[in-house]
Structure 1
Amino acid sequence: MKKVSFAEFGGPDVLQLVDAEEPHAGAGQVRIAVRAAGVNPVDWRVREGQVLGAHPIELPAGVGLDAAGVVDEVGEGVEGIEVGDHVFGEGSSTYAEFAVLSAWARMPEGLAFEEAAGYPSVVETALRLIREVGVRPGQTLLVSGASGGVGSAVLQIARERGIAVIGTAGAANQDYLRGLGALATRYGEGWVERVRQLGQVDAALDLAGSGVLRELVELTGDPRKVVSIADLGAPEHGVRFSGVAGSVPDALAEAAALISRGKLHIPVEKSYSLAEAAAAHIDSHAGHTRGRRVMVI
């Protein structure tokens, strides 16, 4: 099978499309014929060797955590799923023609593989951040870097829970944020004052890692009410850095329910072939996403 792999840590140029042996489902796992794989910032952080504590790997290594596809092997002890079922979930080395998933859910009716691949890590992260930052119904959550995949999910899940959201993004994404139910304002000089004019901030999330933690603490008045997934220097500001996943099966079940009820939709901004994995990582690293990027097999 074809698979994206890297033999050394480094830039996008270390990624190679190689011929590899097919993986097989072990106990508690399923194997899928991958139709699409999600592109996440953690993918290039792993490739660069940034997050070895959370994601220890041996080289050469595959790339990718999220995927959607057709089940073609069911491991020992797995119940409620059969060969031929369409699922989305998390596993390893998902930039490939076949991948093993350790957590999955059936794809909601009418959802395309390309769309489904963009949800697993994004929704788990969004649910975890809302929980960890402690924001409650009736309060206001500020999201810095709100137009990407995680931000798109946070905005919609928060709205569903009765939490008001202020989102910051580039000028081109202001209408997109408003369409997701957020009060929107631009990055750049004067952004803190623009946020204050939109209302009091009870909690804040840093999704972009653009050096705004001091301002987020200032706006909330309490570093314990700020959580980051993008700034590794967060503890220096008394801010929690969230990098450990919660229950992925529970997150997938909630994602499927929200999608089925029409309460969650994350658009695919751009898709890539396996041969374009380096370009996908370059684009992901640059940010400014509206929704999700995915590999299509």
Structure 2
Amino acid sequence: MSFAEFGGPDVLQLVDAEEPHAGPGRIRIAVRAAGVNPVDWRVREGQVLGAHPVELPSGVGLDAAGVVDEVGEGVTGVEVGDRVFGEGADTYADFAVLGAWARMPEGLTFEEAAGYPSVVETALRVMREVGVRPGQTLLVSGASGGVGSAVLQIARERGVTVIGTAGAANQEYLRDLGAVATTYGEGWVERVRRHGEVHAALDLAGSGVIRELVELTGSPERVVSIADLGAPEFGVRFSGVAGSVPAALAEAVDLISRGKLHIPVEKSYSLAEAASAHIDSQAGHTRGRRVLVI
């Protein structure tokens, strides 16, 4: 899957391309599933060129799960035929090169595994950046998507109380993940206040609530956004640059293996349906993850 110009979902084109190969420190996989992340359509629109430089024409996708079929120079601990998931470049494809990977935990399907890499890395990063500690309360705006699902479960494991906002249809889902659930929309700030002091907040949906999150926490330094490019206007950090993906994958494997983290796949698409997946991702209201099945 490729795009030759920045724009809407219609710029995505299914094309024949040269197969990539694993350079030093990299592996190539036969892709079985690719995760669909909001950053994918932000890159397609040219929104985040500072963090994700693009040379046109460009492939699409960061996350994937599949079977190793080529191992680059200097790589140890993985062999052709291993089932892995990880992060790389241009993963909406039959073959993709990964720069960070881990063996898939037992019991995960390729579809499920493809939904974890960027999501868990982002969840761990923003929780670190916002500085929330055990015993404190974290407010998560837009809590039912992939990153929110991970944050809620990781926070519960770390002894952090979470208040999550989501649509009415996702309230039970948030409660199942250990959050205090409330709806967004008119009166949401007062509904949050009824649950007590908020020590930190994450904006995961970009729904124009930065001012209110600052008000609820008492300081812009206690708020981090991954979705509102205007957040810095309020003194709030916009987090868009990945930290250590290998460390995040190792933590994901540990949490999944111990039954402490599960992110459901809300919907699967074929590679040819990538534009539809982007349209749905941009519309929001996701419960868990969207993936492409290759």
What's the TM-score bracket when you normalise by the shorter of the two chains? over 0.9
| 1:79 to 2:76 alignment | yes
AA partner of residue 43 (structure 2) = V
> How many pairs does the alignment contain?
294
- 1:251 aligned to 2:248? yes
**Separation in 2, partners of 1:61, 1:130:** 31
Q: Which consecutive unaligned segments of at least 5 residues does structure 1 have?
A: none
When normalised by structure 1's length, the TM-score is: 0.99
Cα-to-partner distance string for 1:82-116 (whole Å, 9 max, x where unaligned): 00000000000000000000000000011100000
Question: How far does residue 199 in structure 1 lie from its aligned partner after superposition?
Answer: 1.7
Following the alignment from structure 2 to structure 1, what is the Cα–Cα distance between the partners of residues 58 and 209?
33
1:280 correspondence with 2:277: yes
1:48 to 45, 54, 71: 45
Q: Could you tell me which runs of 5 or more consecutive residues in structure 2 were left unpaired when the two chains were aligned.
A: none
Is the counterpart of residue 177 in structure 1 residue 174 in structure 2? yes
CA deviation string 1:124-179 (max 9, x = no partner): 00000100000000000000000000000000000000000000000000000000
Q: Which amino acid aligns with 2:172?
A: D
Q: CA deviation at 1:244?
A: 0.9
**1:31-70 aligned within 5 A:** 31-70=28-67
How far apart are the structure 2 equivalents of 1:227 and 1:287?
Answer: 19
Structure 1 residue 236: deviation in Å? 0.8
Q: Of 130, 133, 136, which aligns to 1:136? A: 133
* Residue 227 of structure 1, aligned match among 215, 224, 227: 224
Q: CA RMSD in A?
A: 0.4
* 1:192-245 deviation per Cα after TM superposition (whole angstroms, max 9, x unaligned): 000011121000000001010110001001110000001111111111111111
Q: SS at the partner of 2:52?
A: coil
Distance 1:177 1:57 in 2: 36
Q: Percent same amino acid among aligned pairs?
A: 87
Aligned counterparts of 1:51 and 1:239: Cα–Cα separation in 2: 17
Instruction: State whether structure 2 residue 227 is matched by structure 1 residue 218.
Output: no
Matches within 5 A, 1:142-221: 142-221=139-218
Quick one: which of 100, 107, 114 aligns to 1:103?
A: 100
Q: Within the alignment, does 1:292 sit opposite 2:289 as a pair?
A: yes
The runs of 4+ residues in structure 1 deviating greater than 4 Å are none
| 1:57 Cα deviation from its structure 2 partner | 1.4
